[in-house]
Amino acid sequence: MTNPTTLRRSLAAAITTDGSMTDPAWRTAIETVPRELFLGDAVYRMGHGERGTLWEPVHRSEMTRTEWLELVYTNDTWVTQVDGIAATDAAEPIYGTPTSSSTLPSLVVRMLEAADIHDGDKVLEIGTGTGYSTAILCHRLGEKNVVSIEYDPMLAALAADRIHAAGHNPTLVTGDGLEGWEDEAEYDCIVATCAVRTIPRSWIWQTSVGGIITATLGGWMEAHGLACLTVGEDGSATGRFTGETISYMLARPHRRPPRSGFYRHSGQSRITTVNPELLQDWTGRFVAQLASPSAEFLGSGGNVVLLDVATGSQAWTEPAADGWTVHQHGPLNLWDQVETALRAWQNAGSPDQSAFGMTITPDHTQSVWIGTPDGPSWQLPA
């Protein structure tokens, strides 16, 4: 019969070998915390259906103990909730958007190492989720130094039970993580396990001077960048992106509002020589999102569709003999904005995100730049 301790050690060894983990203290935590405790009795496996991504529930009761433990200790993200429906409550595959998951352990550790957490640091975790990463933090820092906040009451209750069963009793809060948790401030580190469109002002106020905020910037084009920001005495923050291809679900208050449908309008047409396929590049799409932060990305290859959620403006491209034809309709010329940004990125040498930085001023204006703050820059939405 498969031994969970052996599987944990094998997992820790694997993510050390691939370079995701370098700190022996985090390795000890991965070897110790029982991930099976945090996955419950079912997860979703991603599949494909006629209408897109299909989520198939995988129930523990339908597998042998060995099969279940081997699933648990693969270095994968396992979705545990889709549109608020827990995998344990799903009897058949469903369509929808993941709303909670157990992040792959290597990513958990990469985030924690990027945050430069040290023994004795007090950490606020935004997004308790299943509670697995919370338990990892407790093992390293001690429960008195860990505060974790979860938006979803059902998830928060489940996570609390599992964290307590693992022998830890940190401060657990049910509420809006974008507001932080002032009662336990100040924090040496804030680590977000959800993506945000902008850094909330409360996170800066609740972080000690010299403390670090580690968060993934995301948006409605589903582009992401992991930033580590150091808080200054004047309420400012600055730092750089790690360049890692890390993505998280957007915080629920930052998600795109629903839309009823989409119809392509011809609008005004012109030729563009900027390849729309640049939006398939990890950094290229991130740049496009910076240029049009309220736009949604659709399409693929040379057939790109941008739809502005705020104004209804749209841009779409199609291959042409001498480049690509772009059609723009509405009050915003979306492709003009994206094209200008992509050219600036190309003129800078098309660097990956490790060349990008971010500045938050004392009045909370937020901008992302390439190279230095004086380089090409884009302001984030307020």
Give kind and range of the element (H or E) at residue 31.
Answer: helix 24-32
3-state SS, residue 184: helix
User: Which candidate in 101, 148, 292, 377 is catalytic?
Assistant: 101
| Location of structure tokens 């449908």 | 261
Neighbours of 86 (CB within 10 A): 20
User: What one-character-per-residue DSSP string does 74-96 give?
Assistant: SSS-EEEEETTEEGGG-SS-EES
Are 36 and 68 in contact by the 8 Å Cβ rule? The answer is yes
3-state SS, residue 228: strand
Q: Please tell me the distance from the alpha carbon of residue 156 to that of residue 145, in angstroms, as a whole number.
A: 19
Q: Please tell me the distance from the alpha carbon of residue 162 to that of residue 178, in angstroms, as a whole number.
A: 24
Residue 55 to residues 47, 218, 256, 365, Cα–Cα distance (Å): 6, 23, 21, 39
- 101 included as an active-site residue: yes
Which tokens hold the place of 15?
């993510």
Are 151 and 160 in contact by the 8 Å Cβ rule? The answer is no
Beta bridge partners of 192: 126
Residues classed as catalytic: 101
